[in-house]
Chain A
Amino acid sequence: MTATVDETLQLLQTPSADGMSFEDHITELILQIIETHPADSTDRIEDYSEQLRVSGPPKTLEEEEIRTDDRILDRYLKAALEKNKELLKATAPTAGEEQGPSDVALHNPIDEGIHFERLGVGLGQEELLQISLHLRSYFETQPLKSVRLWGKITGLENDYYIAEGEPSGDLGEEEEGEEKGNEEENAEEAREEEEGAEAEEELAQGEPTIEEDPDQPASPPPFNPPPAEDTPAEGREEKSPNQFVYWACTGPTDSWHRLPDITPAMLRGSRLIVRDFTGDLNAPVSKGFPVFEWKEKHFLRAQIARISHSTSIVPVQSLSKGEGEEEEEEGGAKRVQLTVDLLSNLSEWVHSKPPILVQGRVRKYPPQEGEEEEEEEAKKKKKELKLSDLHNCWEGKDEVEPINPDAKPSRIITMDEKIKGTIPAFSIRKDHMLDNTPVLIKSNRWPGAYTIVYGTKTAQWSSLYIGNGRKYTAEPYSLPPPADIPDEYEDMEELIDPTVEDEEKLKPKPEEEEGKEEGEEGGAEEGAEEGEEEES
């Protein structure tokens, strides 16, 4: 009997392959159950057992080895933390001192974010805070009139946060500063590419500055922008697509990259494709048909322009007093009569920006003179465009009555052409819980474009875009038809083949010909020359 007990004990105490005997295992198991007091100990016994087998008995902190090869994200976390600290530090003293208030009017996305959140849209709190701080720390020193967080565009590898700034008159300085900033930022990236693009950016703006690239004056930019054709890009005029300058960054740890100005060709190109953003500003966009020969930053800029021009709205009442544009930016500081309740009606809103025409400009180029002509043109255009209507609803389709971009905005948003004939361009969301709660107006054509109205007595509004930068058409994408086949070469005039006799007639006799030629030439100038040569 004793022998069997010993034998059993030996069996239980023999360590298995992992160095732990059955006895140890059971002991640990019972110990763990006693220690952790699980409510369902019998259910969890296999689980505990497996845990023990895989990871061994629980280790104390000292015993626990930190496996470094597993913790590959720590560098990112650290960078984010450091950046966070830096941002908080940078903003703390300025808030207290209020010494040098910057000239840049910074919209506070956090305040607006609270109102957006009340209607269930917007960015996460932490995300918003960090982006706001990042925005402030970078743009405070820029020569801008105002800056706001335009929105977020999702991409495959990264999301873009977009800042919209209105440059204050002096563009040259700003660009230089920007160039420097960009160069620093992109030091790690493919430098040549970036500079090429930068040069291209300059070209696109029609303000080529050779001093910008002193390092590499000889090397031609790797990418040559196509000729701007007959439609030049618009400048910084009010309501033009280039009125504002945009920056993009992929997060608080990334620096802000300025996006190039838009050209009509890019706008036209961007209408023909649907594409998800990759998150890399220098990625190619569409190499196949239809070609979009620029880079992703150009495509991003084009989409921003399209979204802005389609979805910027402003209450019609707010325009009756002032000149419009500035007030729109100020967000209703002066107005008293505007209440949220009044503005929770879609017909109170008008587009604050004119549509971008087919040619990719807001103001027609070349400028039209007579109104009749314009109308005719518009009619013609309308006829021509019927084929491509699918892709170009509203934006990109010139309206029958051309809109003067410089006039007061008057297009009520409910009058927008409906998507596929049935879906209104804008929807509204109200929250009836309390009085004067914010109202959300969202675009159906560009899902993710939100405008919010809030405020207790006087209404204020702000807009934000959070989406993937794609237009909603209610139709599957179809490739645009290929370009027209070029006209055939005009037929040449047909002539009757000459007969042998005719040829013979025309053919001079060889001897005669030579004699004639010699005689003629000798009689005129050449003979004299020859003579001179012979003499010499």
Chain B
Amino acid sequence: MGRSTLYNDAGVIFAQKEKSLLRTALTSLKTENKTKYIAYWGKIEGINADYFLIKAWDEYLGPAKYFYSNDMVDWAQVPEVDPHVEEMVKLDQSLYIGDPTIKTRFRDLTKLTKKDPTGEEEENAAPPEEEEEAEEAAPEEGAEEEEGAPKKPKKPSNFFTEDQRIAVFVRQIELNCQLVPRSFLYLNATHLVCENPSYKGLSQVESLKLTSYLHLRFPFDPIVRKNLEVKGVNKPFDFLDPADNDQPVGSWSLQYKSFVSLISIRSLLFPGYQVFLRPDTPEWGSVYVGNGLMNIDIPFTLPPISAADTHPHLLEKIMRENEEEERRRKEEEERLKREAEEQQEEEEQAEEQ
């Protein structure tokens, strides 16, 4: 219950029906797959339907299983990432349709020829019809390739299904976005990554720094990686990449919402991903709710300020404001004191007279 309040405060809304279905799904998937941990991963919004995603894993930094569902009733596992498909879809900007089996043909934009959009003439075409059309059109254009694909692995298919695309996207998020608060995980003496049972949450100051958030991925930074790999190094919390080195600079937006007392960190590179955390409490969560697209326009969308200023400077701002407030308060006190003294003197003078 407390957790659903946390999600609600963060602006992640579940319909009542979704809530109950999700609870069932989490339990049943966990027992079916015998995993240690399971969590709601997020939602990818499509044209005709949305995909709900669940992540199940045994070991942090270890392999994880992902499940998707359109209706939250039937869950299917997200396939493994095909590197060939990844090449095709990683920068794709078209919306998800909502049918995992639908095949889409990859069109190399460098070889794009001018062609009239086919969908325009059918005005009242209901979305399902359109899908059919796409499917019909696809084999015509690339029938040979598609038929040839399974037999000749050398010439990979130009088609990809939507669940493959989901797999690629999930991987992208896991690599670029998935954050955990520092000290939520620790490296034990046998170099296993474990949940820290004495995790009490980040303090107010810590929670406003990007360095307190670590990437839940095998670290890229060689120095950090050394901490993870070399046995005996006693740095139980610094074995993951902190978020403040991420490229492009300024791709995280950090906000504090005082009215729900929540820190929220949003990714600008993958709009829709956010980590939310209540300072001083162990409550935190992360979720993706969005179109499933990478913001490839990010060089243009970042505000026109120097790179040094693009980091969240909320902490500095608050510190400055607090200092200012403190100073003002002291001045006020001194002024009052002075006034009181003056008044006293006046009274004394009056009495003397």
A positions within 8 Å CB-CB of B: 44, 46-47, 51, 70-77, 79-80, 83-84, 116-127, 130, 154-159, 251-253, 273-276, 278-279, 283-288, 347, 414-415, 417-424, 427, 429, 431, 433, 444, 447, 466, 468, 470, 472, 474-477
In the bound complex, residues from chain A placing their C-beta under 8 Å from that of B196 are 47
In the bound complex, residues from chain A placing their C-beta under 8 Å from that of B197 are 44, 47
Among B11, B14, B95, B322, point to the contact of A444 (Cβ < 8 A): B95
**Bound state CA distance, A219 and B184, in angstroms?**
56
User: Are B258's CB and A347's CB within 8 A?
Assistant: no
A509 to chain B, nearest CB (A): 69
Q: Pick out which of these stretches binds chain A: B24-32, B79-87, B118-126.
A: B118-126
In the complex, what residue of chain B is closest to A252 when comparing beta carbons?
B259
Decide yes or no whether B198 CB sits under 8 A from chain A: yes
User: Are A444's CB and B47's CB within 8 A?
Assistant: yes
User: Are A273's CB and B300's CB within 8 A?
Assistant: yes
Q: Pick out which of these stretches binds chain A: B165-173, B260-268, B330-338.
A: B260-268
In the complex, what residue of chain A is closest to B45 when comparing beta carbons?
A447
Among A46, A159, A253, point to the contact of B189 (Cβ < 8 A): A46
In the complex, what residue of chain B is closest to A278 when comparing beta carbons?
B303
Contact mask B140-158 → A, CB, 8 Å, 1/0? 0000000000000000000
Decide yes or no whether B297 CB sits under 8 A from chain A: yes
User: Are A276's CB and B302's CB within 8 A?
Assistant: yes
User: Are A251's CB and B120's CB within 8 A?
Assistant: no
**Which 4 pairs across A and B sit closest by C-beta, in order of nearness?**
A421-B117, A80-B258, A76-B258, A477-B297
**Bound state CA distance, A154 and B255, in angstroms?**
10
Sample of 9 further A-B pairs with CB below 8 A, known A276-B301, A476-B91: A72-B205, A83-B259, A123-B13, A125-B8, A126-B260, A156-B253, A284-B304, A422-B94, A429-B50
Decide yes or no whether B138 CB sits under 8 A from chain A: no
**Bound state CA distance, A423 and B125, in angstroms?**
11
Decide yes or no whether B33 CB sits under 8 A from chain A: no
Number of A-B residue pairs, CB cutoff 8 Å, is 167
In the bound complex, residues from chain B placing their C-beta under 8 Å from that of A475 are 93
B positions within 8 Å CB-CB of A: 8-11, 13-18, 43, 45, 47-48, 50, 91, 93-95, 116-120, 123-124, 127, 130, 134, 188-189, 196-198, 203-205, 208, 250, 253, 255-261, 266, 268, 271, 279, 291, 296-297, 300-304, 312, 314-315, 318-319, 321-322, 325
A125 to chain B, nearest CB (A): 6
User: Are B205's CB and A70's CB within 8 A?
Assistant: yes
**Bound state CA distance, A417 and B10, in angstroms?**
35
A293 to chain B, nearest CB (A): 12
B292 to chain A, nearest CB (A): 11
Given contacts A117-B13, A120-B18, A414-B124, contact A71 B204 (CB under 8 A): yes
**Bound state CA distance, A100 and B127, in angstroms?**
50
In the bound complex, residues from chain B placing their C-beta under 8 Å from that of A472 are 95, 291
**Bound state CA distance, A74 and B279, in angstroms?**
11
**Bound state CA distance, A233 and B264, in angstroms?**
39
**Bound state CA distance, A269 and B308, in angstroms?**
27
In the bound complex, residues from chain A placing their C-beta under 8 Å from that of B94 are 420, 422-423, 474
In the complex, what residue of chain A is closest to B92 when comparing beta carbons?
A474
Among A44, A73, A130, A420, point to the contact of B318 (Cβ < 8 A): A73
In the bound complex, residues from chain A placing their C-beta under 8 Å from that of B16 are 117-118
The contact sample of 11 A-B pairs, CB cut-off 8 A, is A47-B196, A47-B197, A120-B13, A159-B255, A253-B258, A276-B268, A279-B255, A420-B117, A422-B130, A431-B17, A447-B45
In the complex, what residue of chain B is closest to A273 when comparing beta carbons?
B300
User: Are A253's CB and B259's CB within 8 A?
Assistant: yes
User: Are B123's CB and A414's CB within 8 A?
Assistant: yes
User: Are B303's CB and A283's CB within 8 A?
Assistant: yes
User: Are B300's CB and A415's CB within 8 A?
Assistant: no
User: Are B297's CB and A476's CB within 8 A?
Assistant: yes
In the bound complex, residues from chain A placing their C-beta under 8 Å from that of B45 are 447
**Bound state CA distance, A354 and B314, in angstroms?**
41
In the bound complex, residues from chain B placing their C-beta under 8 Å from that of A76 are 256, 258, 318
